Chain A
Amino acid sequence: MLKVEGFDTYYGQSQALRNVSLTVAPGEVLCLLGRNGAGKTTTLKSIMGLVPPKRGRMSLGGVDLTGLPAHRIPKHGIGYVPQGRRLFAEHTVRENLEIGLMARGTGREAMERALGYFPALRERMGQRAGTLSGGEQSMLAMARALCLEPTIMILDEPTEGLMPSMIATIRDVVIRLRADDVGVLLVEQRIDAVLPVADRIAFMDHGEIKAELGIAEVRADTSILRTYLGVG
């Protein structure tokens, strides 16, 4: 169980997160929705220690991770797919995956399992990541994070700019991860991208989580979406 309590995060003087708390249980998909600049990415970066929060606590499976330097966090089993993929573009596909393996010292079997989700990558192992198609880059970003055999996967707009068929592939992977008891924290801007996979939805605005609802409540009353997202 990933537990975040009361994150306050700043960029210099300006406060980007206000008292953000959330939990992700194993085998659960929590979606974080919000407009541009709501603070979704900042929430994920605070969890990853990349933009350390000024206040707040975090734990994973009962282990306190508060204040750990960024490079010590993945060792606890958090796989991260950053916004815009952030692949090592000049490295080969294989090297990108090897960097994923290094994070926790996982072995070849972990790479095999990650490739099992995205068999198409097998034919590209020697190719430079920057030369992959957009869809392949998304797959590689997911596979790289899966290489560390995460218990929690953190995905920042993984479907951004993808064709519908690719979006379906990513969605299927999220569903498989949930079945494998991995907890997923999924950030998206569009509600239709998450409705089929979410267990709970948290709405974010101006650095705050305004509401958190179970998927049944959202399905039952779609006017909620208008309230929090300004969309129908």
Chain B
Amino acid sequence: MGFGPYLLLATLEGLVQAAVLSITAAGLSLVFGVMRVVNVAHGEFVMLGAVIAWFTASLLTGHPAMGFAAALLVSPLLVGAVAFASERVVLRRLDYNPEATIVATIGLLYILQQTVLLVYGPDARPVDPPFYYTIRFPWFGYSAYKLFVIGAAIVIMGGIWFVLQKTRAGLVMRAAQYDRETAQAFGIPVDRVSAWVFALGAMLAAIAGVLVVPIQQAHYLMGADPLLLSFIVVIIGGLGSMSGTVLAAVLVGLSDGIISMMFSPTLAKMVSTLLVALVLVFRPNGLLGKAAR
């Protein structure tokens, strides 16, 4: 295969990464933006989403598309419920104190991880993609499911934009994000909004988990990479900036995908980390972030 086609393949792989990453990071960014909570357990919500997808798919025999569709519904709902409960039981009681919530979400990370280890076991298990179809390029064939993932991410990001910018719920979330105190002075129950935002962030992570599991297999330790990469993306994009998050996800996903394929995954992670360092030095608020108020 010549360099051109190889680059095309690497770019496609990078875009798939970027797609999943943008959904995951959007959740992290939303939670940080509105609640100022750094959710260290965010990657575990991806993992939980993937594992629940496996359970759902293995319970529903028949066409794999059925299991997949069911997982796309069941996973986010269950994970959202877990997140909502953790918010009410733990984060809220800590009054969203920045340091305390970091420690608490580290605890949540281990609880989720170990519970899944107990219930699901240490094996990595695949879930069938909803359809097997290969798109034939002149130089190589490419999984249509992966292109579907890219499309799904675009739809989901569009959906997030629509909700945030065009609905009442979005207006309330943005107001709570911008200025908690003034939002309350205008009747916005910032506390309750926080619980829903935390659930919503986890649901996005779960959707990302369901989308990757046909590509990657479900495993109880699979949350680490999405967490690290989401942090990188959110920092590069600018904390709390949704458009920055998308931009950074595409940058990081593409560079990670391309460098992983052309050179090595280790070099790819090094480049991403270096990118974070550079951004922190030259644009401490991220590419599209605003100065802290």
A and B physically associate: yes
A56 in contact (CB, < 8 A): no
Tell me the nearest residue of chain B to A98, going by C-beta: B171
Interface residues in B174-212 (C-beta closer than 8 Å to A): 174-175, 178-179, 181-191
Given contacts A89-B178, A90-B178, contact A103 B186 (CB under 8 A): yes
Residues of A within 8 A of B171 (CB): 91, 95, 98-99, 102
B136 in contact (CB, < 8 A): no
- Contact check, B172 vs A82: say whether CB atoms are below 8 A apart: no
- Contact check, A102 vs B188: say whether CB atoms are below 8 A apart: yes
B168 in contact (CB, < 8 A): yes
CB distance from B181 to the nearest CB of A (A): 6
Which of A50, A70, A82, A99 is close to B175, meaning CB atoms less than 8 Å apart?
A99
Residues of A within 8 A of B189 (CB): 69, 71
Interface string of B118-153 (1 = CB under 8 A from A): 000000000000000000000000000000000000
Given contacts A50-B181, A86-B182, A102-B168, contact A71 B187 (CB under 8 A): yes
Residues of A within 8 A of B174 (CB): 88, 90-91
Residues of B within 8 A of A144 (CB): 186
Residues of A within 8 A of B191 (CB): 69, 71
Residues of A within 8 A of B179 (CB): 86, 88
Residues of B within 8 A of A183 (CB): none
Alpha-carbon gap, A13 to B38, bound state (A): 28
Residues of B within 8 A of A134 (CB): none
Residues of B within 8 A of A49 (CB): 184
Residues of A within 8 A of B183 (CB): 99
Residues of A within 8 A of B188 (CB): 71, 99, 102
- Contact check, A70 vs B184: say whether CB atoms are below 8 A apart: yes
Residues of B within 8 A of A75 (CB): 187
Interface string of A4-38 (1 = CB under 8 A from B): 00000000000000000000000000000000000
Kindly name the residue among A88, A89, A100 whose own CB sees the greatest number of chain B CB atoms within 10 A.
A88
Which of B168, B181, B187, B190 is close to A103, meaning CB atoms less than 8 Å apart?
B187
Tell me the nearest residue of chain A to B190, going by C-beta: A71
Interface string of A77-119 (1 = CB under 8 A from B): 0001010001011110001001110111000000000000000
CB distance from B110 to the nearest CB of A (A): 33
Alpha-carbon gap, A89 to B189, bound state (A): 20
Alpha-carbon gap, A89 to B178, bound state (A): 8
Given contacts A88-B174, A91-B171, contact A74 B182 (CB under 8 A): no
Top-8 shortest CB links A-B: A103-B187, A70-B184, A86-B182, A74-B187, A71-B189, A103-B186, A71-B184, A80-B185
25 chain-A/chain-B pairs, Cβ below 8 angstroms: A49-B184, A50-B185, A69-B184, A71-B188, A71-B189, A72-B187, A73-B185, A74-B185, A74-B186, A86-B179, A88-B178, A91-B171, A91-B178, A98-B171, A99-B171, A99-B175, A99-B186, A102-B168, A102-B171, A102-B186, A102-B187, A102-B188, A104-B187, A148-B186, A148-B187
